[in-house]
Amino acid sequence: MSTPPISTDWARAYSGCRVVGTLRDKLADFQVFEVFDRVFSGHGEHLYILVEKHNLNTKDVQSALANHYGVSLVDVSYAGLKDKRSIAQQWFSIRLPKTAQRPTDKHFSVLEETKHDRKLRPGDHQGNRFQIRIRNVSESANLAPDALQQPLPNYFGPQRFGYQGNNLHRALDWVSQSTPRIKRGVRALYMSVLRSLVFNEVLASRIRSDTWRTALNGDIVLEHLPTGPLWGRGRLPTSSDALVIEQSVQRQNKAVCDTLEWVGLKQERRALVMRASGVAIQQEDDAIELRFSLPKGSYATVALNEYFDVKEARA
């Protein structure tokens, strides 16, 4: 099988001039707060802790918690992955911890703890609240007054594809070489990356034809929003105009789609549109601070990309 060259510079929804600036100049410039409204029982075999992590992957925290509490990795759960280069707060659950002592670590701390009778599962949170500062912005920068308040494309963000797209390139190499014998964890990563690629290609096609905000004939609608495919085995549930677009992307990415079907993933859907809420923007001197919330699974960097041309400061 061969795969076509892939660009991850997908179509933008809005064509206005973007504000130039620097992202993550300081760690505190990118803050994430998990929105989690579960009512805890206060008892049960699962310890729940709210962790604030600094410049650390969610999975690194998971591993450290497993070591501290004397449990296996599978007994430490979280609702979603958070950016490494950030200050982020999120919940973890630990099944039957062997110690009641809180961990001490220079990269993360425990803010709250309680107990519950059910483990934390992926997607249990409602979304994420962001506080982001973009620096080195010109004082004459003209940010669109409706920035972040219009419908936004729900692309998978660059984090999904790895640094400089390396995970995507490796996944495509794996597809083209037809070498299925790889570690289970690596294969799961590649499947996630490839699914995200196909979805983004469908969304980009809809943006180019200006059909992404509202449902087309034959669309599958989720919570009043049009959706795109998370590719897998089975027939596409769309029809008519929506099906034509998705089949066109399938033909252009046949090797990728065939691989996703071969490994047994089932068709799923994801909203093409995301909406930010609680938007507040403040401009001061050479910086702009933004506060907003997004649904779970949506990327702040994607929202920013519509209005900002940012360069990431070196770690």
What per-residue confidence (pLDDT) applies to 2?
46
- pLDDT (average), residues 184-195: 91
Quote helix, strand, coil % in the chain, to nearest 5.
30, 30, 45
What per-residue confidence (pLDDT) applies to 178?
66
d(CA 120, CA 136): 40
- pLDDT (average), residues 170-188: 82
Question: Residue 245 burial (CB < 10 Å; 0-12/13-18/19+)?
Answer: buried
Share of the chain above pLDDT 70, in %: 97
Neighbours of 145 (CB within 10 A): 7
According to CATH, the topology of domain 1-21+130-315 is Pseudouridine synthase (3.30.2340)
What per-residue confidence (pLDDT) applies to 179?
63
Domain 38-125 has CATH 3.30.2350.20: yes
Residues marked as catalytic = 83
What per-residue confidence (pLDDT) applies to 285?
82
Report pLDDT digits (tens) over 6-61.
Answer: 667 899 999 888 899 999 999 999 999 999 998 999 999 999 999 999 999 999 99
Sequence ranges of the domains in the chain: 1-21+130-315, 38-125
Report pLDDT digits (tens) over 249-300.
Answer: 999 999 999 999 988 889 999 999 999 999 999 988 899 999 999 999 999 9
Q: What is the mean pLDDT of the chain?
A: 92
